[in-house]
Amino acid sequence: MELKDLLGGKGANLAEMMSVLKLPVPHGFTITTDACRDYMHSGWPKSLDKEIALHVKSLESKMRRGLGDATDPLLVSVRSGAKFSMPGMMDTVLNLGLNDKSVKGLATSTNNERFAYDSYRRFISMYGRIVLGIDGLKFEHALEAAKAKCNAKTDADIPADALKDLCEQFKTTVAVETGKPFPQDPAKQLRGAVEAVFRSWNGPRAIAYRVREKISHDLGTAVNVQAMVFGNRDDNCGTGVGFTRNAATGVNKPYGDFLVNAQGEDVVAGIRNTEDLDAMKKKFPDLHAELMAIFVRLEKHYKDMCDTEFTIEQGKLWMLQTRVGKRTGAAALKMAVDMTKLSAPKGGWKISKREALMRVTADHLDQVLHPQFANKGKVLAKGLAASPGAAVGKVYFTADDAVDAADRGEAIILVRSETSPEDVHGMMVAKGILTARGGLVSHAAVVARGWGTPAIVGADMVKIEGKTFSVGDITVKEGDIISLDGTTGEVVLGELLLEAAEPPKEFKTILKWADEVRKGKLDVRANADTAEDADKARELGAQGIGLCRTEHMFLAPDRLPVVRRMILANTPAEETKALEELRQVQKEDFAGLLRSMSGLPVTIRLLDPPLHEFLPRVEELEIKKAVSGLNAEEEALLKAAHSWAEFNPMLGTRGVRLGVVKPGLYAMQVRALMEAADQVAAEGYKPVIEVMIPLTVTREEMALARSWVEEVLADINSRPAPKTKKGAKRVVRPKVTIGTMIETPRAALRADELAEVSDFFSFGTNDLTQMTFGFSRDDIESRMMPAYLEAGLLKRNPFETIDQTGVGELVEIAAKRGRKVKRGMKLGVCGEHGGDPESIGLFYRAGLDYVSCSPYRVPIARLSAAQAVIGGNKSDTK
Amino acid sequence: MELKDLLGGKGANLAEMMSVLKLPVPHGFTITTDACRDYMHSGWPKSLDKEIALHVKSLESKMRRGLGDATDPLLVSVRSGAKFSMPGMMDTVLNLGLNDKSVKGLATSTNNERFAYDSYRRFISMYGRIVLGIDGLKFEHALEAAKAKCNAKTDADIPADALKDLCEQFKTTVAVETGKPFPQDPAKQLRGAVEAVFRSWNGPRAIAYRVREKISHDLGTAVNVQAMVFGNRDDNCGTGVGFTRNAATGVNKPYGDFLVNAQGEDVVAGIRNTEDLDAMKKKFPDLHAELMAIFVRLEKHYKDMCDTEFTIEQGKLWMLQTRVGKRTGAAALKMAVDMTKLSAPKGGWKISKREALMRVTADHLDQVLHPQFANKGKVLAKGLAASPGAAVGKVYFTADDAVDAADRGEAIILVRSETSPEDVHGMMVAKGILTARGGLVSHAAVVARGWGTPAIVGADMVKIEGKTFSVGDITVKEGDIISLDGTTGEVVLGELLLEAAEPPKEFKTILKWADEVRKGKLDVRANADTAEDADKARELGAQGIGLCRTEHMFLAPDRLPVVRRMILANTPAEETKALEELRQVQKEDFAGLLRSMSGLPVTIRLLDPPLHEFLPRVEELEIKKAVSGLNAEEEALLKAAHSWAEFNPMLGTRGVRLGVVKPGLYAMQVRALMEAADQVAAEGYKPVIEVMIPLTVTREEMALARSWVEEVLADINSRPAPKTKKGAKRVVRPKVTIGTMIETPRAALRADELAEVSDFFSFGTNDLTQMTFGFSRDDIESRMMPAYLEAGLLKRNPFETIDQTGVGELVEIAAKRGRKVKRGMKLGVCGEHGGDPESIGLFYRAGLDYVSCSPYRVPIARLSAAQAVIGGNKSDTK
């Protein structure tokens, strides 16, 4: 257990600042996370009151003042402090220990009655609001009224008497709102504040934050109790927040906000306009110099940019807290690279390239890769953040309307209940996509991510009727402008400002280092279905294609009718004719892909989805039939739609099962692929081909599918290879490997048998997760998943980060059993987890050779793969 | 490897008869199954011709005759013989070795030209039909014409010359049909016959038989080549089939069919009326005595009833084959019990009770338990045999029509595309159920099995339109009579005769023995949802209820509207009110169940299915809306149906997930249950209760569900227990255990975590199989499963017999991990596999405490459990 686990981040850092760095830190003590966990489990721990009393006594003796003392009282601050910094929890109660007696003692000892009552009114309102849960407006209104009454411009202009009155009013408010008088006993005040911190751990905002940030609900928070120092005694006082470097840009220059005669909350609340550190330098040159020296020591100690809070009390500088500071993506990249050089002023220090790599997160890269909104707006609705990036455009409700509008040069947001293959032409022209239904692997989400188009799906408060949609009583019509943030899932009415993504130069440096670290250890490929995607992927550093979903080639508007002809075929001849047409177009698609990835491996997955995905929906045709009747073609389609409709298509006739039902299909695809290979080889490209069979569950199934592929290969190879365009030499045909996806629990368990007839495995962790949990992602993700994450029934969304102990164990079992039969067998992953940093850690430890993800995730995967090799992203739950 | 593996059953028995029992068996040799497997893998084995030639030579020298010899030729029979007896494969070619020359030799050596040409014409037609694949009618027509020409009444009346002509005609037919002359070289004839045997292994009828009988496609068949003896030379010859006991009744008296002057095929084909063994005794008293003595030796050797073929050639008895004979269920029971007594005439022998138990199969019990058809009819359609037994009735197409007809006293067969909860009242009155869609766990199948109502589902050639259905060009109207055989899946037009099931008295004896063997080792419970089912189960020997599906209580017509009110509730108050109503009715249901099972454990599974199962279908309402509009209630239902509709309901919001979404639901069910327990305890019954949570995947989920149950228990227990009706004593409330189903792969893998918060596990192997394979049973079973079984992609239907190496491993893992955390934890299974003999073997070996199955399977499970304990039904693949 680390110090941070027990004391929380804030407590651990305070202890370090005081005992290791010898910085001027006010005395205090920390109540451990153990106590919080006890509290959550079985209420206020019996021994805690006594322990707190002991620590308070020790603190009182160090400070030579007593809590609640009527002559020279000790005041303390109470702050929450979990292992990971967590907005959403109770933050801070200041000035605790003041009561009707000690406020007089404070007035006497400081010889400043106004200060004493100003502190008291702050304490009552803060305690009332944060600990007792009273609406803060009740205090604010009274404060405003008091200011108005005495014509005070700012809070600081309110005279002492008025503050005294205000304290009385505030106490009355507390009594009215809680039914009890404001607590006068400092020990009770302290227990109340500590309990409030504990409680706030399970407050809804804290839970929501932990769900978003993937922090375990079990950790609990520590509580930091610290002697108060006062930045608001007089003008020889002040308070500030300081960063050792610029957290927004990464520039190596301290940066901060500062206020004279104020307490910390004033800086954060933004009530008064703050000044910068240069202003501090003018007013307190010595203290500024001391602070700068401390910054140097902090950076040297933490070897990172630090964020600090400090207070000046009558000419003395106190450090109230410090932590390694949060930063933007651009700043993270710049700092990480900068810090590898001996750059600090004195006692120079630097970090290694490997350390630098560990400083950059996936979110940092994401930020610099996708366009962002530069401003904020009123959030109209929220859905699932399906494809990151920001988009602004006019709303259209059908694909055809979207295409027409795009032809007129408009920027389009396509809004649909859900999308289907028939919407693809509209999706192609859209800047962003919004759907009311569907989860993160819905058609809309998968297509959008593939193209890097920002998308929000499953926004179920969006009610679409005809060519309008409404959220509550707000109606949005066709042509109205909305803004989508695919990174947060927020829909905003009207136009936000877009900031283009321009990765800083350190982006390339970091990724170069990452590639050096992971070289030969964990490759990164991309999932790409078209030459355009493949080009993008290669540009972003992909080392091949780990998954080409050939079904996407079937969905283009000019192909769908042919696919339907194949499905509807009444005779083998008709079926063959349709397959033949498909072969021609598939060949062109494959050729493009192979050209783009020349010299790098391309994994082609044969057709996977259930056939009904290529047919119109039963309901639509049934309704049309009931209302206006169907023509002969529609009748045939309806019959086919009925015949192929399934109760649970996810578990139905798809993958290799489709190959068994339509045996000509896979042969056609392989033939198209091999003809494309010949064609591009003749042009001088180097095709490297892996054929992948989806959804196998038995060795016999894979052996059969393999035989189909080998038959075509044998036939192709029986013919002479083409000659290169330039010379008279014949090209050397590549050796094609044939492997399978591991995407059912049975395939994972029986990987030994499958390995006998497979050259490689690629883990389809999306489906594997769906089947291992029994979670249909499309159904679960909008209704159940949020509830499950909030209630702590799941620690993570297993579709985002692989479930380590369930699905993860299956991956490990399969890797082990597969390699036992076939030593050194190539293993990869092509589910969405292939782009998730923590999952990549598991894949590396399981011995996989590569991960494959969407082109836009490739840089993130490259970084994460390096981090996995370094060993830094182990799977301990946050 | 056993002798049977290599030589096949027939070959091994022949070898035994000759070398061990020293019976008069014609010389011969057997080509092993190895050769067949080689042939299937890579064509005719190179060395086989030589080996056959060597064996033929050896046979010729033993018989002192040569194959094809022009003076005194050797003739042989060629028979297939797999490890397991298999109709559907090539059976026998007799008289091989005859050609234009040797037929003359045969005529000379036997001094019987008629016999020689009769044998030749038989050979040509048999070879033509069986080896060369020529339509048998072509030979039959010629034979009939020949008979007519010479005014012959029977085949035996055709004179030699006419037979000669017939041979010429037959050879011409062969040449015309095959394009080649009839082979004259005996070596070629033999190779052709052997290859035909090999090929017949993969004939469609053989494959279909193996799929039905669960025999592996990999075994291959042996080929038996044996010197011919002739039962058709003259009236001092004959042939017969003999059973050592009566295979239909089990009576210990030899039984058989016999024909004078005939070959074996005549007995089997039923061309002439056969006589019985008494007739043989009259004609051949010595040979009859010899046969009876052989029967005694056979029974003593095999310790079982044997089935034999024999031939008399000019006063000498030859045994052509023997095997342990097939028998009816009643006969199997009687023989098994009889043979435990020292009953055989001489050199008495007997079997142990344990051996007797191994002699009876599940099919035997099934036969004596369910009504059967006494006659056969034209099969109109075939579907999945969903619920065994036979039913006859008039066809009705809606539940309401069925109820009206039943009120008029008619026997009803309900025919539907598929059934839903709204059809339940019609299903209740039906004698049998037929659906065109759905698999073996479809609503229709599950409900029918639960009630013991014969049912056929997924008969997809049945096209329903309005109040008629058609199969091909046959149309069946409302009120027409059909017969359903739920054991075979066959639908017959018209009325077949029903035979009531009356188990013989040995039924009870065998089950008593079974119970003695399995006592304390493997219990058998039943899945039952109502008091009636529970009564039936107890009568059939169930030791408790392993699964009560509480959803069935929600489906009754008077409850569905209340369930819908709960789903549609707009306010918590409305929801609570609906739940309260449901609590009242559930309480009564539970009370009935607990009374019936007093003193035995009852496992109540809290609500499991997705809520949309209680709502009308979206399509229906959408169509109605489009056509005629909806009223307000229907609009609300449509909205709810949309809201709860799921893409893959199997993997959606069901099981404990439902409990999370509707937290009051489970609490209501537990309260109803505990109130029922109090009520029946006061009446003097002894309720034993196990509460079961479905579909958990994480410990946290189970802990939460457990807390709901415990809260209600604590509340109930805080009130005084009721007094018994008679005395003033208060009843002692039972300790309720709380467990979970293991029905997702993740639950199996993380059984250790779940065991921390579960008192017991019950394996839901239906869902576990669906998720482990990614097979939606409803979708897969009609379209994919038959194709997969026929192609050998699956050795077994994993929904009938548990998949040993995939799903089975998960069961073993879960049992091990669960018991590691909680020693001696109670484990059971309540999927349909709980009633499958082979699966029961795996469950026993995995350490489970009980299996639970439908009430009507309980006797079978009792027997299978005993067999598992004895160790006889290990899982080696047939």
> What are B50-90's pLDDT values in tens digits?
999 999 999 999 999 999 999 989 999 999 989 887 766 77
Q: Please give the average per-residue pLDDT across A351-377, as a whole number.
A: 87
Of A618, A701, A784, Cβ closest to residue B657: A784
Question: pLDDT tens digits for A595-652?
Answer: 999 999 999 999 998 888 888 888 888 888 888 888 988 898 888 888 888 889 999 9
Position A878 scores a pLDDT of 41
Which among A626, A698, A779 has the least Cβ separation from residue B651? Answer: A779
State how far the Cα of B542 lies from the Cα of B854, in Å rounded to an integer.
10
User: Nearest Cβ partner of B618 from A619, A787, A810?
Assistant: A619
Q: Give me the mean pLDDT over the B639-652 stretch.
A: 89
Residue B809 and residue A749: Cβ atoms within 8 Å? yes
For A66-111, strand residue ranges (E) read 66-67, 73-74, 76-82, 92-96
pLDDT at B211 over 80: no
Amino acid identity, position A656: V
Q: How confident is the model at residue A343 (pLDDT cuts 50, 70, 90)?
A: low
Cβ pair B261, B232 in contact under 8 A: yes
* B580 burial level (CB within 10 Å; 0-12, 13-18, 19+): middle
Res A532: pLDDT = 92
Select from B622, B653, B783 the Cβ nearest to the Cβ of A783: B653
Best residue of B40, B211, B657 to probe chain A, by most A CBs closer than 10 Å: B657
B616 touches chain A (CB under 8 A): no
| Average pLDDT rounded to a whole number, residues A138-146 | 91
Q: What pLDDT score was predicted for residue A229? A: 92
The alpha-carbon gap from A811 to the nearest alpha carbon of chain B, in Å, equals 12
Task: Tell me the average pLDDT across A199-227.
Answer: 84
Helix/strand/coil (H/E/C) assignment for every residue in B322-364: EEECCCCHHHHHHHHHHCCCCCCCCCCCCCCHHHHHHHCCHHH
Pairing of strands A850-853, A826-829: parallel
Cross-chain Cβ contact A623/B618 below 8 Å: no
Q: Are residues B833 and B515 in contact, defined by beta-carbon separation less than 8 angstroms?
A: no
- Contact present, B75 and B119 (Cβ < 8 Å): yes
Among A223, A228, A195, A222, smallest CA distance to A94 is for: A228
- What span, in angstroms and rounded, lies between the C-alpha atoms of B443 and B449? 10
Asked whether the beta carbons of B102 and B68 are under 8 A apart, the reply is yes
* Interatomic CA distance for residues B833 and B768, integer angstroms: 11
Q: What single DSSP character describes residue B89?
A: B
Do residues A759 and A826 make contact, with C-beta atoms less than 8 angstroms apart? yes
pLDDT at position B792 is 85
Mean pLDDT of A372-398: 88
Q: What interhelical angle do B858-870 and B837-845 show, nearest 10? A: 50
The helix or strand, by DSSP H or E, that contains position B582, with its residue range, turns out to be helix B572-596
From chain B, pick out residues whose CB is under 8 angstroms from the CB of A623: 622-623, 626
Q: In the β-sheet with A221-227, what is the strand arrangement from edge to edge?
A: A28-31, A221-227, A76-82, A92-96
Annotated active-site residue in B288, B443, B552, B612: B443
Q: Cβ neighbours of residue B340 under 8 Å, at least 6 residues apart? A: B350, B351, B352, B353, B355, B356
- Partners of A474 in beta bridges: A471
B361 in Cβ contact with B345 (< 8 Å): no
Sheet arrangement for strand B463-465: B463-465, B468-471, B474-477
For residue A647, give the nearest of B626, B776, B806 by CB distance.
B776
B 114-173 residues with CB below 8 A of A?
none
Q: Which segment of A873-877, B368-372, B663-667, B688-692 scores lowest on mean pLDDT? A: A873-877
Mutate which: B648, B654, B662, vs A, most A CBs within 10 A: B648
Eight-state DSSP code of residue A129 = I
**What are the tokens at A60?**
């009182």
Question: Identity (one letter) of the amino acid at A427?
Answer: M
- Is B647 in Cβ contact with A649 (below 8 Å)? yes
* Chain A residues within 8 A of B784 when measuring between CB atoms: 653, 657, 660-661
**Does residue A218 sit in helix, strand or coil?**
coil
Question: In the predicted model, is pLDDT for residue A870 greater than 70?
Answer: yes
A660 contacts B700? CB cut-off 8 A: no
Please check the confidence at residue A514 and state whether its pLDDT lies above 60. Answer: yes
Nearest to B437 by CA among B412, B413, B456, B411: B456
Contact: A648, B776; criterion CB under 8 Å: yes
B619 touches chain A (CB under 8 A): yes
> Are A622 and B618 an interchain contact pair (Cβ–Cβ within 8 Å)?
no
Residue A279 has pLDDT above 50, yes or no: yes
State the pairing for strand pair B76-82/B92-96: antiparallel
Strands of B203-276 (E only): list them. Answer: 221-227, 238-243, 255-260, 275-276
Least confident piece of the model among A35-49, B131-145, B429-443: B429-443
Minimal CA–CA distance to B384: which of B770, B777, B778, B782?
Answer: B782
- Asked if pLDDT for residue B272 goes beyond 70, the answer is no
Residue B347's pLDDT is 63
**Helix, strand, coil share (%) of chain B residues, nearest 5:** 50, 15, 35
Q: Does B628 touch chain A (CB under 8 A)?
A: no
pLDDT at B424: 78
Q: Can you give the pLDDT at residue B451? A: 67
Q: Which residues 734-793 of chain A have a CB within 8 Å of chain B?
A: 743-746, 749-750, 767, 770-776, 778-780, 783-784, 787-788, 791-793
| pLDDT of amino acid B685 | 95
Sign for the pseudo-dihedral over CA of B656, B661, B663, B665: negative
Q: For position A873, what pLDDT does the model report? A: 46
Q: Is the pLDDT of residue B735 over 60?
A: yes
**How far apart, in Å, are the Cα atoms of A830 and each of A603, A658, A797, A864, B221?**
10, 21, 18, 15, 44
User: Could you tell me the two tokens for B421?
Assistant: 């909860």
Residue of A nearest to B806 (CA): A746
For the record, the structure tokens of A264 come out as 């910390």
Q: Residue B830 catalytic?
A: yes
- The answer on pLDDT for A290 being more than 50 is yes
Those residues with Cβ within 8 angstroms of residue B854's Cβ, 6 or more apart along the chain or in another chain: B449, B450, B452, B526, B527, B832, B835
Query: pLDDT per residue over A733-792, tens digit each?
Result: 989 999 999 999 999 999 999 999 999 999 999 999 999 999 998 888 877 888 898 888
Q: What CA–CA distance (Å, rounded) separates A193 from A195?
A: 5
| Chain A hits for B695, Cβ within 8 Å | 774
pLDDT over 70 (residue A88): no
Look at B771 and A771 and tell me if their CB atoms are within 8 Å: yes
| ipTM of the prediction | 0.80
Chain A residue at shortest CA distance from B790: A660
The residue of chain A with its CA nearest to that of B781 is A652
Tokens of A167: 């304290």
Record: contact A704-B793, CB cut-off 8 A: yes
pLDDT of residue A321: 87
Helix (H/G/I), strand (E/B), else coil: B739: strand
Query: Taking CB atoms and an 8 Å limit, are B622 and A618 in contact across chains?
Result: no
CA-based radius of gyration for chain A: 32
Contact A776 B651 (CB under 8 A): yes
Between chains, do A776 and B809 touch, taking CB under 8 Å as contact? no
Q: Which of B36, B830, B833, B853 is catalytic?
A: B830
So what's the pLDDT on residue B421? 67
For A516-529, the pLDDT digits (tens) are: 999 999 999 999 99
DSSP notation for B369-414:
HS-EESS---EEEE-EEEE-SEEEEEEESSHHHHHHHHHTT--EEE
Could you tell me if residue B22 is left (phi over 0), alpha (psi between -120 and 50 degrees) or otherwise beta? left
| Beta carbons of B774 and A646 less than 8 Å apart | no
Query: How many Cβ atoms from other residues are within 10 Å of residue A107's Cβ?
Result: 19
Question: Could you tell me if B582 and B559 are in contact, meaning their C-beta atoms sit under 8 angstroms apart?
Answer: yes
At A876, the pLDDT band (50, 70, 90 cuts) reads very low
Asked if A793's CB is within 8 angstroms of B774's CB, the reply is no
Put simply, whether A30 touches B (Cβ < 8 Å) is: no
Kindly state whether B608 is in contact with chain A, defined as any CB-CB distance less than 8 angstroms. Answer: no
Residue B873's pLDDT band (cuts 50, 70, 90)? very low
* Average pLDDT of span B421-433: 85
Give pLDDT tens digits for B584-596. Answer: 989 999 999 999 9
Assigned token pair, B434: 């037929």
DSSP B496: P
User: Which pLDDT score, from 0 to 100, does residue B189 have?
Assistant: 96
Q: B interface mutation test: which of A647, A769, A781, A816 has the most B CBs within 10 A?
A: A647
A382 touches chain B (CB under 8 A): no
A794 touching B, CB under 8 A? Answer: yes
Relative orientation angle of helices A807-821 and A837-845, to the nearest 10 degrees: 30
pLDDT at position B452, please?
Answer: 67
CA distance B38 to A113: 105
Cβ-Cβ contacts under 8 Å for A364 (sequence gap 6 or more)? A327, A328, A329, A332, A333
B776 within 8 A of B847, measured Cβ to Cβ: no
Condensed to tens digits (0 to 9), the pLDDT of residues B536-556 reads 999 999 999 999 999 878 888
Q: If we measure between CA atoms, which residue out of B456, B461, B524 comes closest to residue B485?
A: B456
pLDDT at A344: 54
Show Cβ contacts of residue B714 under 8 Å, excluding neighbours closer than 6 positions.
Answer: none
Percent of chain A scoring above 90 in pLDDT: 61
* CB-CB neighbors (< 8 A) of A752 in chain B: none
The answer, yes or no, to whether residue A113 has pLDDT greater than 50, is yes
A41 CB near a chain B CB, below 8 Å? no
- Residues of chain A neighbouring B772 (CB-CB closer than 8 A): 744-746, 749, 771
Is A582 in contact with A665 (CB distance < 8 Å)? Answer: no
Cβ under 8 Å to B: A residues 807-846: 807, 809-810
Cα–Cα distance, A369 to A507 (Å, whole number): 10
Question: Rounded distance, CA A246 to CA A330, Å?
Answer: 11
pLDDT tens per residue, range A783-822: 788 889 888 899 889 999 999 999 999 999 999 999 999 9
Which of A627, A638, A773 is best to mutate for the B interface (most B CBs within 10 A)? A773
> Would you state the pLDDT for residue A84?
85
Residues of B in Cβ contact (< 8 Å) with A794: 698, 700
Mean pLDDT for chain A overall: 90
pTM over 0.90: no
CB B806 to CB A749 under 8 A? Answer: yes
CB contact under 8 A, A651 and B779: yes
